Amino acid sequence: MKLKTYLMGGAALAMMASMAHAGDVRITVAEYSSKTGPYFDKMAAEFEAANPGINIDVEVTPWDVLLQKLTTDIAGNANADLAIIGTRWLLDFVDQGIAEPLDGYIDDEFSGRFIETFLSPSVMDDQIYGLPVAASARAMYYNKALFEQAGLDGPPETWDELAADAKAISDLGEGISGYGLQGKEIETDVYFYYPMWSYGGNILNEDGSSGFGSDAAIQAATLYKSLIDDGLTQDGPTAYSREDVQNLFKQGKVGMMITAPFLANQIKDEAPELQYGIAPIPAGPDGDRGTYGVTDSIIMFANSGNKDEAWQFLDYLFTQGPRSEFTLGEGFLPVNQAVSEEPAFADNADLNAFAGVLPDARFAPVVSGWEEIADVASSALQRVYLGEESPEDAMSRAAKEANRILGK
């Protein structure tokens, strides 16, 4: 009996020794830009100065390997107390009991700080599991100089107009293409959802099955394929990731592309001469349109040993000053109501253009296996762009594959 008590005491001691020092809060953050690391270090220093006894440890991880790092950390039971994650991964974290519900800490004052649209994707089963830290939506960038040269007076309102404008710009020659089409790596599928939404399609049908086989999806894929065949996009879109197309836009080699607010920041730094405008995503024949909304959230781990200290740090991060500095530095959309009303944001024409499309924002569906479904769609589109498969065949095969993953 006594031996057993000793053993248990020893085990408890060993466990305590392996646990983090009381008052230590580790946070894993994604590296959005070279400013991210210094920003969080500064926040940690300011917070530590105001809260003696709490020590903040910041781990900066590049986006590409963030999910891999979190996965291995969790598998090895060596995860931090807080982490930034893509909100579209949240379902798995909640299902497996990895993320701690935050409702116990949140009062009305705190939840009132957020813009509702951006907080809602982090709510599951009526519980808040994450706090939106970065938000972005997509809109269409167009090169004003090229539009002028081609004799066009403004950005296209519909996809039919877009095709006509792309033709006029491509006819300028000199290796310039009308529409920059992404066909490689992350968000290849998203680039196709824009026309699909405009034609009235959805990623998931009402019954939860895949909408990739719908008429709208096939119309959208057919539209992109015809743009490629008519030479209205850059050559070989399947070799161009989002960053590659953005580079083409910065070089003035494509007339239009759809991407996130951060391109405006990059243009300011790298191509300040470029005359560009930001417009909503073109509408479909019935006036439908949709843009892609993305948020990243900070979650608290359920196995954290210092939840109260971790929460104190979160509370600080989500006050107006720190939020404003982060959002401005990284070029995201404000997620805090008060921040969005600051002159730096309210008077910024680029950000206003993005704020204008928010009512049309759609988020990645909350289903497990989403990344795999997105990959199925991307692969199907790549086969269409390469001409290996017709839009009908590729998209109905993608729908079948997606339904298998969805269990429908």
Contact 195, 224 (CB under 8 A): yes
Residue nearer to other proteins on the CB measure, 96 or 352: 96
Shortest separation between residue 70's beta carbon and other proteins, angstroms: 8
Tokens encoding 12 = 């408890």
200 binds other proteins (CB under 8 A): no
Binding positions for other proteins, 129-158, rule CB under 8 A: none
> How many angstroms separate the CA atoms of 37 and 33, rounded?
8
Distance, CA of 89 to CA of 149 (rounded, Å): 44
Q: How many residues bind other proteins (CB under 8 A)?
A: 37
Q: Helix, strand or coil for residue 171?
A: coil
Contact flag: residue 371 with other proteins (CB under 8 A): yes
252 touches other proteins by CB under 8 A: no
Closest by alpha carbon to 259, among 342, 159, 142? Answer: 142
Question: Would you count residue 96 as binding other proteins (CB under 8 A)?
Answer: yes
Shortest distance in whole angstroms from residue 151 CB to other proteins: 25
Residue 185 interacts with other proteins (CB under 8 A): yes or no: yes
Under rule CB under 8 A, residue 164 binds other proteins = no
242 counts as binding other proteins under rule CB under 8 A: no
Q: Examine residue 304 and tell whether it contacts other proteins (CB under 8 A).
A: no
Instruction: Tell me how far, at minimum, the Cβ of 386 lies from other proteins, in Å.
Output: 6
Q: What is the distance between the alpha carbons of residues 239 and 299, in angstroms, rounded to a whole number?
A: 35
Among 123, 204, 366, 386, binds other proteins (CB under 8 A): 386
Least distance to other proteins from the beta carbon of 74, Å? 4
- The kind and range of the H/E element at 29 are strand 24-31
Stretch that binds other proteins, among 18-26, 29-37, 258-266, 374-382 (CB under 8 A): 374-382
Contact window for other proteins (CB under 8 A) among 126-134, 178-186, 258-266, 319-327: 178-186
Could you give the angle at the alpha carbon of 17 between the alpha carbons of 14 and 21, nearest 5°? Answer: 160
- 400 touching other proteins, by CB under 8 A: no
Nearer of residues 375 and 392 to other proteins, judged by Cβ: 375
State the Cα–Cα distance between residues 285 and 271, nearest whole angstrom. Answer: 35
Measured from the CB atom, is 119 or 402 closer to other proteins?
Answer: 402
Element (H, E) at 115: none
- CA gap 294, 287 in Å, rounded: 23
* Distance from C-alpha of 70 to C-alpha of 382, rounded to nearest angstrom: 29
Question: Alpha carbon of 56 to those of 211, 250, 315: distances in Å?
Answer: 45, 39, 14
Q: Does 230 bind other proteins (CB under 8 A)?
A: no
Could you tell me whether strands 291-300 and 130-137 are parallel, antiparallel, or unpaired per DSSP bridges?
Answer: antiparallel
DSSP-derived secondary structure letter, 274? -
Closer residue to other proteins in complex, CB, 171/235: 235
CB 257 within 8 A of CB 179: yes
* C-alpha–C-alpha distance, residues 200 and 216, integer Å: 6
Q: DSSP characters for 357-404?
A: HGGGEE-----TTHHHHHHHHHHHHHHHHTTSS-HHHHHHHHHHHHHH
Query: Among 136-144, 237-245, 256-264, 329-337, which window interacts with other proteins (CB under 8 A)?
Result: 237-245
Q: Does 247 bind other proteins (CB under 8 A)?
A: yes
Cβ closer to other proteins: 112 or 387? 387
Contacts of 346 (CB under 8 A, 6+ apart): 340, 352
Q: CB nearer to other proteins: give 55 or 234.
A: 234
Q: Nearest Cα to 360, choosing from 297, 280, 295?
A: 280
Query: Binding other proteins by CB under 8 A: which of 10, 104, 175, 407?
Result: 175
Q: Which position among 263, 361, 380, 406 is part of the footprint of other proteins (CB under 8 A)?
A: 380
**Which position among 375, 392, 393, 403 is part of the footprint of other proteins (CB under 8 A)?**
375
User: Would you say 184 or 323 has its CB closer to other proteins?
Assistant: 184
Question: Which of 33, 72, 226, 275 is the binder for other proteins (CB under 8 A)?
Answer: 72
> Which residues make up the interface to other proteins (CB under 8 A)?
67-68, 71-72, 74-75, 92, 96, 98, 175, 183-185, 234-240, 244, 247-248, 251, 253, 369, 371-372, 375, 378-380, 382-383, 385-386, 388
